[in-house]
Amino acid sequence: MTKRTMGDLSRRSVLKGSAYAALGTLATPALLRAQSSELVIGCAGSHTAWMEEIVIPHMKSTIGADILFEGTKSSVNLEKMSSNKDAPYLSVVQMDDPVMIQAVEADLLTPITADAVPNMTDLRPDAVHMDGMWCNYVQPWAGVAYNTEFAPDGVPSWTTLWSPEAKGQLIIPSLQNTEGMWTLFAAAMLGSGKPFSEAQYEIDAAFAKLEELKPNLLSVYTTMSQAFNLLEQGEITMLAGNFSSYALPRKNEGVPVDLAAPSEGIFAMPSGICLVKGGPNPELAQAYVNEMLGSDMQSAIADFASSVPANTTVTAGAIIPDGVPIYSPDWAFVAANRRDWIERFDKLMAI
Amino acid sequence: MRRLEHIGLLALPGLTFLAVIFALPLFMLLLKSFQIDGQFSLEEYRLFFTDEYNMSVLWRTLRVAALTTIVALLIAYPTAIAMSRANGIWLSIFLVAMVLPMSVGVVVKAFAWSIIFRTRGVLNDILMSLGIVDTPIRMLFTETALIIGAANVFLPFMVLPIYAVLRQMDTRLPEAAASLGATPVFRFFNVTLPLSLPGVVAGCAFVFSLAVSMYVIPSLIVGERQQTLSMLTARSFLYLRNEALGATISSILLIIAISVVLGSSWLANRLGARS
Amino acid sequence: MQGSAGTEPDKRAYLDVVGVGKAFKGTTVMSDMDFRVARGELVSLLGPSGCGKTTLLRIIAGLTSADAGDILLDGRAITRVPAHRRNISVVFQSYALFPHLTVAENVAFGLRARSVPKGDIAPKVSEALQLVRMRDFADRPVAALSGGQQQRVAVARALVVDPVLLLLDEPFSALDRKLRETMQVELKSLLRDRGMTAIFVTHDQEEAMGVSDRIAVMNSGQIEQFATPSELYARPRSSFVMDFVGLSTRMRGRVSKTDGPVMQIDTANGMVLAQGDYGVGTEVTVGVRPELITPVAGENTIKVTLADAMVLGAKTQLHGASHPEDRLLCEVPGIQTNLTRGQDVTFGWSVKDTLVYEAPR
């Protein structure tokens, strides 16, 4: 990696630059190529706070890595990986499980092994996927965020979203966002009347129920921070699909919001970490993943982001609300159908 | 003549830059939109234009762009007139007021607008305290808010070309008109307005092109329920992973933009030829 | 100084500018200006740039407002009337033709602005263009016209609306000399034929003398003299007017002796006699029009060494070597080839042709 010639570099950078210009949406931070101690990490935009505060200083002191992180949506991370497949510039990507499946299908990942990443062995068994293609490092839980001043009773049930009092008081995520799935699955349960394990395949029933939600919708977001801001301001009373790693830190800062766990069930946010196939600095990348899965980082992130740690040796972090089932969907089914769902959802929700 | 040819070389860096960074990828994109499995095909276009939803998005995109252009023009024209007559410190204040907001990111602006447009926001407070409305009007996530917001962002691109033309206009022309008995209104419609049309056309072309292809502003102001062509393009590339559809929509956007630019330069030439 | 009409302040002329003052950003450019023009008169405002002549024109037209004073037209105060209701046409220096309109549309502009019925416009436009011999150009864009043609269109556009007064701001300055003279003659007879009252603004004294019945010579926001061209030339009321209108021999001097109406003045070129009543010791400027000087001795005679003899065709100009502040100039008819530089000659003229002004202190 470090022996790459300048000519090679600049030609590649230029090509990359033009490819980005064609896409018109992606920035070109990669023009500054990683040096030996640099790692470019793709992660979720909502992770910005704890990546900056916890991860970057920790990585500098433990493994001597200079972290450059590009926080964006999982699907954008996937697009960055696939359009740079021949010359990856990201070493590690942290994104959602359904997108991980797509990345595996596109042959963009290299497996994490216990030899290179010893902390992997301490993880809960269900946190390691497809023979180590990716691991879950934290699991925030998702329910419905609400404004405690305008909805003092909270959100006892998912049916509250459909109530007449909620007219114009609700924003839900687009299906383009991973957390958008939760409204869809809640609608599937309510629409089909079946338990989650069966209801998650009842997509027609889900869309039929979602259509009934339209009068209550102020908007459908793809940028969560903006929607959350409206919730904080009381412009809306409920924000569906929101999760503990975002809502609870805000609550702890004294903002009048809280995260409700509706009685029908809550959902486990699938936060995965993976190694990019052929990415720069592979050894350092493995060290990074090992640190992320280690007890120090696990407890720090779980505390900061109010999430359930994946490392079984760690006891810190959020407690999953009592008496409410927590669901994890069939991500393979989601990955296979998501494109169709997005198109169907956009058409259904269009004004 | 030789000197002129040499001066032409000065455009070379710009042209090269545009060719590599802009024209080449765009050409590749166009190619993609006409290909299915390596074969030339118009199928993607047929699919696009036969989809009712896509057509509604296309129609909304054009409508929003047109209305944004009109609103921007109505606000910009008087501003440009005032600026063309201002001097010294006032002109500086105007120019700074025009240019400075461009350095504020659209995201910041969008948050600022949500303060204005909220149900319990400034605008509704004013309307209610004036007794114009009894209950708050929903303004967030409406096309009206989008048009006002977009017009705000693109206003300098309308003001500056009109200002430049008005500034160059011989100030004796309106005076000559006055001495010939023309009232201020008659002077405006028969002298100032026709002479400023090249600037108006340029400003409209700028704003329409920007508005028809805007992405961040609609995604922040109206969200996913009222998609525009750019949002559809991003969705095709990023979520649907359908490059052919993305390329097709981009090409349609490109064709709209090119038609606007060519049409307006033809119009500007026609208007300019007489003066 | 006052013009001839101004000597009877109670008597209204056609245009009365009374006590007008104007300041721009605290700088006074004009104060207590009186200026009166009779109906049908062609008048020029003549002066160097910055003398306030264009400001006065714009105030009369209503394009600039006066800070003080009144404008009366035919006895009616128009001071507060906006330009478009004064019915005063202006021909601007660069003509200010509307570039987006054709020749005919330019001429029709004022008629359209006055809501003249459509059917009446075309014949009036055609007639006006005929008047300035531009009918063949009616459908041309104005940018395609030469300077002289543009000026004709500007005049037609100004006259077609039957203005009560026509103002022309340096109307000939953009034309070359030959064309300028032709256009002056043409325009003057056109205005005379129509009995038009017109005011020209110019810095060119030949032009002013050529087109005007009377000329107001302006300096520093004041009218120094308002008189017919011949009076202005023969009896300039100040050394400024003498210098600005036509050429002259001028010498600085001092009154050394008075004898009734005749003064004896010492100059660098010797003693000169002149009529006047300045006291002994007064610093004065002595002037003589060059064609009134002959190269032989007269009532006043000075010895001059020739610095140059310029043959100008119909006349020959003799320039004498002089003190830098003085000027010695004599014009003799015909071509004089026997005079050369360095030669000593005599300038002689009569006492009554000698002009004397008190020198500014």
- How far away is chain B from the Cα of C217, in angstroms, using its nearest Cα? 25
Residue A106 forms contact with B (CB below 8 Å)? no
Q: How confident is the model at residue C56 (pLDDT cuts 50, 70, 90)?
A: very high
Q: Do A217 and B225 touch (CB under 8 A)?
A: yes
Least confident among A178-192, B245-259, C151-165: B245-259
Residues of B in contact with C103 (CB under 8 A): none
Question: Mean per-residue pLDDT for A266-276?
Answer: 89
Q: Say if CB C303 and CB C346 are below 8 A apart.
A: yes
Least confident among A11-25, A110-124, B174-188: A11-25
Q: Do B238 and A79 touch (CB under 8 A)?
A: yes
Q: Say if CB C99 and CB C142 are below 8 A apart.
A: yes
Cite the DSSP H helix spans in A84-162: 97-105
Residues of B in contact with C54 (CB under 8 A): none
- How far away is chain B from the Cα of C87, in angstroms, using its nearest Cα? 6
Question: Mean per-residue pLDDT for B7-23?
Answer: 81
Nearest to A176 among B141, B235, B242 (CB): B235
Structural domains of chain B, with CATH:
52-273 (1.10.3720.10)
Question: Mean per-residue pLDDT for A232-250?
Answer: 90
Residues of C in contact with B88 (CB under 8 A): none
Nearest to C113 among B172, B182, B271 (CB): B182
pLDDT digits (tens, 9 = 90+) for A1-40: 333 333 343 444 434 444 444 443 333 344 444 457 889 9
d(CA A188, CA A175): 14
d(CA B246, CA B78): 40
Give chain C's end-to-end CA distance (angstroms, integer): 19
What pLDDT is stored for residue B22 in this prediction?
79
Three-class SS string for C201-225? EECCHHHHHHHCCEEEEEECCEEEE
The architecture of the domain spanning C5-243 is: 3-Layer(aba) Sandwich (3.40)
Least confident among C98-107, C155-164, C319-328: C319-328
d(CA C162, CA C265): 55
Higher pLDDT among residues C4 and A222, named by residue: A222
Q: Minimal Cα distance from B185: which residue of C?
A: C113
Question: Mean per-residue pLDDT for A113-130?
Answer: 89
Q: How many CB atoms lie within 10 A of CB C57?
A: 21
What pLDDT is stored for residue B2 in this prediction?
52
> What's the predicted TM-score (pTM) here?
0.75
Structure letter (DSSP) for residue A51? I
Whether residue C209 has pLDDT greater than 70: yes
Q: How many CB atoms lie within 10 A of CB A24?
A: 18
What pLDDT is stored for residue A33 in this prediction?
44
pLDDT digits (tens, 9 = 90+) for B74-127: 999 999 999 988 888 888 888 888 888 888 888 788 778 877 888 777 888 888
Higher pLDDT among residues A308 and C197, named by residue: C197
Question: Mean per-residue pLDDT for A324-332?
Answer: 87
Q: Do C94 and B275 touch (CB under 8 A)?
A: no
Closest CA to C209 of C192, C228, C223, C226: C228
Q: Is C278 helix (H, G, I), strand (E, B) or coil?
A: coil
What pLDDT is stored for residue C73 in this prediction?
92
Q: Which of residues 181-200 of B touch C (CB under 8 A)?
A: 181-184, 186-187, 190-191, 194-195
Q: How confident is the model at residue B247 (pLDDT cuts 50, 70, 90)?
A: confident
Nearest to B172 among C96, C110, C113 (CB): C96
Q: How confident is the model at residue B9 (pLDDT cuts 50, 70, 90)?
A: confident
What pLDDT is stored for residue C217 in this prediction?
94
Higher pLDDT among residues B7 and A336, named by residue: A336
What pLDDT is stored for residue A317 in this prediction?
65
Token pair of A183, please? 């409204």
Phi, psi for residue C275 in degrees, rounded to 5: -85, 135
Structure letter (DSSP) for residue A196? H
Phi, psi for residue C141 in degrees, rounded to 5: -70, 145
Where exactly are the structural domains of chain C?
5-243, 248-358
Q: Please name the chains neighbouring C, where neighbouring means 3+ C-beta pairs under 8 angstroms.
A: B
| CB half-sphere exposure, A93, CA atoms < 13 A | 31
Least confident among A123-127, A192-196, C67-71: A123-127
Structural domains of chain A, with CATH:
6-139+270-309 (3.40.190.10), 141-268+323-349 (3.40.190.10)
Q: Say if CB A278 and CB A200 are below 8 A apart.
A: no
Residue B269 forms contact with C (CB below 8 Å)? no
Q: What residues have CB less than 8 Å from C292, skipping those under 6 apart?
A: C349, C350, C353
What pLDDT is stored for residue A208 in this prediction?
95
The partner residues of A72 in beta bridges, in order of sequence, read A44
What pLDDT is stored for residue A26 in this prediction?
38
Residues of B in contact with C110 (CB under 8 A): 180-182
> In whole numbers, what is the pLDDT of chain C averaged over residues?
89
Q: How confident is the model at residue C5 (pLDDT cuts 50, 70, 90)?
A: very low
Cite the DSSP H helix spans in C114-176: 118-131, 147-159
Whether residue B1 has pLDDT greater than 60: no
What pLDDT is stored for residue A8 in this prediction?
41
DSSP β-ladder status, A38-44 and A66-72: parallel
Three-class SS string for chain B? CHHHHHHHHHHHHHHHHHHHHHHHHHHHHHHHHCEECCEECCHHHHHHHHCHHHHHHHHHHHHHHHHHHHHHHHHHHHHHHHHHHCCHHHHHHHHHHHHHHHHCCHHHHHHHHHHHHCCCCHHHHHHHHCCCCCCCCCCCCCHHHHHHHHHHHHHHHHHHHHHHHHHHCCCHHHHHHHHCCCCHHHHHHHHHHHHHHHHHHHHHHHHHHHHHCCCHHHHHHCHHHHCCHHHHHHHHHHCCCCHHHHHHHHHHHHHHHHHHHHHHHHHHHHHHHCC
DSSP β-ladder status, C15-24 and C68-73: antiparallel
AA letter at C80: R
pLDDT digits (tens, 9 = 90+) for C212-239: 999 999 998 899 999 999 999 999 999 9
Name the helix (H) or strand (E) containing A291: helix A282-293
Token pair of B3, please? 């000197």
Whether residue C105 has pLDDT greater than 90: yes
What pLDDT is stored for residue B225 in this prediction?
85
What pLDDT is stored for residue A10 in this prediction?
42
Higher pLDDT among residues B4 and B121, named by residue: B121
Residue matched to tokens 């307005």: B193
Whether residue B138 has pLDDT greater than 50: yes
What pLDDT is stored for residue A310 in this prediction?
86
- How far away is chain C from the Cα of B86, in angstroms, using its nearest Cα? 15
Question: Mean per-residue pLDDT for A228-244?
Answer: 91
> In whole numbers, what is the pLDDT of chain A averaged over residues?
84
What pLDDT is stored for residue A341 in this prediction?
93
pLDDT digits (tens, 9 = 90+) for C242-290: 988 888 999 999 999 888 889 999 998 889 999 988 889 899 999 999 9
What pLDDT is stored for residue A97 in this prediction?
86
- Substitution target in B238, B242, B248, B253 with the highest count of A β-carbons within 10 Å is B238
Q: Do C98 and B173 touch (CB under 8 A)?
A: yes
